[in-house]
Amino acid sequence: QQQVKQSPQSLIVQKGGISIINCAYENTAFDYFPWYQQFPGKGPALLIAIRPDVSEKKEGRFTISFNKSAKQFSLHIMDSQPGDSATYFCAASYYGNKLVFGAGTILRVKS
Amino acid sequence: GAGVSQTPSNKVTEKGKYVELRCDPISGHTALYWYRQSLGQGPEFLIYFQGTGAADDSGLPNDRFFAVRPEGSVSTLKIQRTERGDSAVYLCASRPGPSYNEQFFGPGTRLTVL
């Protein structure tokens, strides 16, 4: 019940295209859903996050879509750029406790 | 401002040795977390401090792992009798306080046990 399942494992997108990464969770107690971006040799960096009372949140080229009834959320990267090439992790937590992470998606944006 | 810092950035040790990994959280952050990230996987929770006390240590894999945060700021993760399976990147994160959800990660310590 603590798992967060993430797909796809890897993704190749053309420059200017839309990258879409999906996550699903089981624990309905989760109340915070962040996305992290990680470059090789670096720690995860918080990209964008959403609470379950909102269905969508947009920050620049990054959008989270949240479907509470389906227990799914996704990250959309618009106008993907080569500099977006990284590993992306979805995560979930409740009441500020530990983050439960997905397995990660390796994104490569081809120029 | 300064982010979360971790030292050392790399640690190579031999099987059976003792190691200490240090985390300096963002100044003023009351919550501190340790995670472990194996190659090609997402970070896995180890332990969470709120102030000086461990609020949740359910992720520590066994009694060889121990962490302290004596003054509510810097934390040290201690691993006794290291095993090759302990090789991973150990990540520290801090959170401003009870009213916030955001966790900010440090660069990690890469531990290699030979």
DSSP tally for chain B: helices H, then strands E:
0, 11
Q: Counting one residue from A and one from B, how many pairs have CB atoms under 8 Å apart?
A: 58
User: Using a CB-CB distance cutoff of 8 angstroms, which residues of chain B are in contact with residue A34?
Assistant: 101-103
Is the confidence at residue A1, as pLDDT, over 70?
no
What letters, b where the CB count within 10 A reaches 16 and e where it falls short, cover B6-21?
A: beeeebebeeeeebeb
Digit-coded pLDDT (tens) for A35-77: 999 999 999 999 999 999 999 999 999 999 999 999 999 999 9
Question: Does residue B98 have a pLDDT over 90?
Answer: no
pLDDT on residue B99: 84
CA–CA distances in Å: residue A52 to residues A1, A6, A64, A67:
17, 18, 11, 8
pLDDT of residue A72: 97
Q: Which residues of A touch B9 (CB under 8 A)?
A: none
Mutation to test the A interface, candidates B94, B105, B110, most A Cβ within 10 Å: B105
Contact B59 A32 (CB under 8 A): no
Chain A residue numbers touching B42 (CB-CB < 8 A): 6, 89, 91, 101-104
pLDDT (tens digit, 9 = 90+) per residue, B8-44?
999 999 999 999 999 999 999 999 999 999 999 999 9
pLDDT for residue B4: 97
Mean pLDDT of the region B83-105: 94
Nearest to B42 among A34, A97, A102 (CB): A102
In this prediction, residues A84-93 reach a mean pLDDT of: 98
Task: Give the distance from residue A106's alpha carbon to the nearest chain B alpha carbon, in angstroms.
Answer: 9
Cis omega (within 30 of 0) for bond into A44: no
All residues of chain B having their beta carbon less than 8 Å from the beta carbon of residue A43 are 4, 91, 105-108
Residue A45 structure tokens = 């960096």
Q: Per the omega criterion (within 30 degrees of 0), is the bond before A34 cis?
A: no
Degrees to nearest 5, angle at CA B104 with B61 and A98: 35
Q: What is the pLDDT of residue A96?
A: 76
pLDDT tens-digit map of A8-41 = 999 999 999 999 999 999 999 999 999 999 999 9
Distances from the Cα of B69 to the Cα of A84, B3, B22, B23, angstroms: 36, 18, 10, 9
